[in-house]
Amino acid sequence: MSHKAGFVNIIGNPNVGKSTLMNAFVGERLSIITSKAQTTRHRILGIVNGEDFQVLFSDTPGIIKPAYELQNSMMDFVKSAFEDADVLVYMVEVGEKELKDEAFFNKIIHSKIPVLLLLNKIDKSNQEQLEEQVNLWKEKVPNAELYPISALENFNVKEVFDRILELLPESPAYYPKDALTDKPERFFVNETIREKILLHYDKEIPYAVEIETEEFKEDDDIIRIKALIMVERETQKGIIIGHKGSAIKRVGIEARQDLEKFFGKQIHIEMFVKVNKDWRSNAYQLRRFGYNQ
Ligand code: GDP
Ligand code: K
Ligand code: MG
């Protein structure tokens, strides 16, 4: 029996719906989703297995102009996604006009590998607007096959998936057939906590935060987690904790609920807040947190 496998890498501007799409393909909440830019900091692999195929989706950070070392690493993840792709998925959203990075855009329009251009969030547009957008993007990226979709409402996602299967090369599987991702369990704990921080804290706080799960002890029916919330300054520590600990308590409760669903077990979670001065600009700290490649 012939077998297909390959890398399908999803790239685009911040907030267009890349993580929502990957989760829709995989059927699991692997990537965290919020309405804030820079929610996704890593390249996250989501694997879809079938009897005669294995699709390796990569969700990547939105393309931005790096302002500090962490963002440089984030853009390195995007660069790597251009290098090993068998199919490129370039996602834009309705109403979006310009790509923010010319170099990346040139790579897309001169790509030698197949490009699927997904015009996302069509649930937010009317027919006239949609037609205008389709024409605009066909002109901008003539080498791409264009699909209007709604990742959120799962509209046209199946059609895109079927097309991807057609485009994939013949290849044996890269990962075991029961694998869902390449990331360890602790990664998903870190990300779930970070999602709650993105949701509940304003301005600079979420961007100054990194999570490190120090302990992940799995028993038959319970997982015990100890997680460290790192901030850059003492004032941020106070904000994270909140009045009498109320703010951090809410993060803990919501993270626990999500993690119980994700792992299918009872979760016990303890969190600590620590100042790690200017970790975002510190190459050594970034390596420690998995941002080098
Ligand atoms: P990313 O930054 O490209 O990974 O985008 P996310 O997947 O994090 O989504 C950013 C925001 O857009 C979130 O609030 C999503 O719920 C929302 N979103 C994603 N896809 C759609 C869609 O098809 N329609 C609508 N209306 N919203 C969407
Ligand atoms: K986002
Ligand atoms: Mg994302």
Name the CA dihedral angle for 109, 112, 174, 119, rounded to a multiple of 10 degrees. 30
CATH architecture of 4-167: 3-Layer(aba) Sandwich (3.40)
In this structure, which residue's CA is closest to atom 8 in ligand 1? 33
Residues of the chain above pLDDT 90, percent:
87
pLDDT of 281 > 90? The answer is no
Mind listing the pLDDT tens digit for each residue in 227-264?
999 999 999 999 999 999 999 999 999 999 999 999 99
Pocket of ligand 1, beta carbon within 6 A: 14-20, 33-35, 39-40, 62, 120-121, 123-124, 150-152
Largest CA distance in the chain: 62
In this structure, which residue's CA is closest to atom 19 in ligand 1? 17
Beta bridge partners, 172, equal none
Q: Which residues contact 285 (CB under 8 A, 6 or more apart)?
A: 276, 279
pLDDT of 98 > 90? The answer is no
Domain ranges within the chain, ordered by starting residue: 4-167, 185-288
Q: What is the ipTM of this complex?
A: 0.99
Look at residue 203 in the predicted model and tell me its pLDDT. 81
Helix, strand or coil, per DSSP, at residue 4: strand
Look at residue 291 in the predicted model and tell me its pLDDT. 86
| β-pair type (210-218, 222-231) | antiparallel
pTM above 0.90, yes or no: yes
For a substitution probing ligand 1, which of 152, 156, 191 has the most ligand atoms within 8 Å of its CB? 152
In this structure, which residue's CA is closest to atom 26 in ligand 1? 121
Atom of ligand 1 nearest to the CA of 33: 8
Look at residue 247 in the predicted model and tell me its pLDDT. 95
The mean pLDDT of 58-76, rounded to a whole number, is: 92
With tokens 């919501």, the residue in question is: 254
Residue 280 near residue 74 (C-beta atoms within 8 A): no
Task: List CB-based neighbours of ion ligand 3 within 5 Å.
Answer: 18-19, 40
Cα-to-centroid distance, 30 and ligand 2 (Å): 14
CATH number of 185-288: 3.30.300.20
Mind listing the pLDDT tens digit for each residue in 111-169?
999 999 999 999 999 999 999 999 999 999 999 999 999 999 999 999 999 999 999 99
Which amino acid appears at position 201 of this protein? Y
Whole-angstrom CA distances from 221 to 64, 165, 229, 263, 273 are 42, 38, 26, 10, 27
Task: Give the pLDDT band (50/70/90) at residue 292.
Answer: confident
For a substitution probing ligand 1, which of 9, 20, 44, 129 has the most ligand atoms within 8 Å of its CB? 20
Mean pLDDT across the chain, nearest whole number?
Answer: 94
pLDDT of 42 > 90? The answer is yes
Q: Do 4-167 and 185-288 share a fold?
A: no
Give the ranges where 201-280 is alpha helix by DSSP (H).
234-241, 246-263
Q: Which residues contact 9 (CB under 8 A, 6 or more apart)?
A: 57, 58, 60, 81, 82, 84, 85, 87, 88, 89
